[in-house]
């Protein structure tokens, strides 16, 4: 996966003292790097973004935590052409017609499973075709 030379230190700075969230991110990144070797990753101020021509996913820390959310978790944002019809989707919004931003909370490494990776694969493919429609 393509990344800047500063990626390791940028990830450390992004998570700071949030060691559990960083560990969850590292587990997610390992899976994504294997599944999407052609993608690129960029650490930004509020999220770590994954691109395949266009943004298809992101990892971030919760900014506004709902009371029933886990105390320590990672927010995995998945861009699709549909809302996720799953209990795992904590938030679903349609910022543009036919483009849905789905937020999935990951509190345990086991939650980085085939279902989540399938949604990420769908988002990866959708990002590639967005401009072609």
Average pLDDT of the residues of the chain: 93
pLDDT band at 133 (very low <50, low <70, confident <90, very high): very low
Residue 79 contacts residue 99 (beta carbons within 8 Å):
yes
Percentage of the chain surpassing pLDDT 90?
A: 86
% of residues, the chain, pLDDT over 70: 98
Alpha helices in the chain (DSSP H): 7-15, 19-35, 114-129
Residues 62-78: pLDDT tens digits? 987 777 888 899 999 99
What's the pLDDT band for 122 if we cut at 50, 70, 90? very high
The residue with greater pLDDT, 100 or 131, is 100
What gap in Å lies between CA 10 and CA 26, rounded to an integer?
A: 13
pTM higher than the cut 0.75: yes
Lateral strand order in the sheet of 54-60: 40-43, 48-52, 54-60, 74-80, 99-106, 89-96
Residue 10, class by beta-carbon neighbours within 10 Å (0-12 exposed, 13-18 middle, 19+ buried)? middle
pLDDT higher than threshold 90 for residue 53: no
Residue-level pLDDT at 98: 87
Q: SS3 of 90, please?
A: strand
Confidence band, pLDDT 50/70/90 cuts, at residue 132: low
Q: Where are the domains of the chain?
A: 7-132
Average pLDDT value for residue range 90-106: 93
């Amino acid at each position: 996966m393509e990344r800047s030379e500063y990626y390791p230190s940028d990830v450390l700075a992004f998570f700071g003292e949030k060691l559990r969230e960083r560990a969850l991110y590292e587990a997610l990144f390992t899976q994504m790097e294997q599944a999407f070797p052609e993608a690129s990753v960029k650490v930004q101020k509020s999220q770590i973004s994954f691109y395949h021509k266009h943004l298809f996913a992101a990892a971030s820390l919760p900014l506004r935590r709902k009371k029933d959310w886990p105390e320590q978790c990672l927010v995995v944002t998945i861009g699709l052409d549909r809302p996720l019809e799953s209990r795992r989707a904590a938030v679903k919004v349609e910022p543009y017609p036919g483009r849905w931003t789905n937020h999935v909370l990951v509190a345990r490494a086991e939650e980085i499973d085939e279902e989540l990776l399938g949604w990420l694969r769908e988002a990866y493919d959708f990002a590639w075709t967005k401009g072609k429609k």
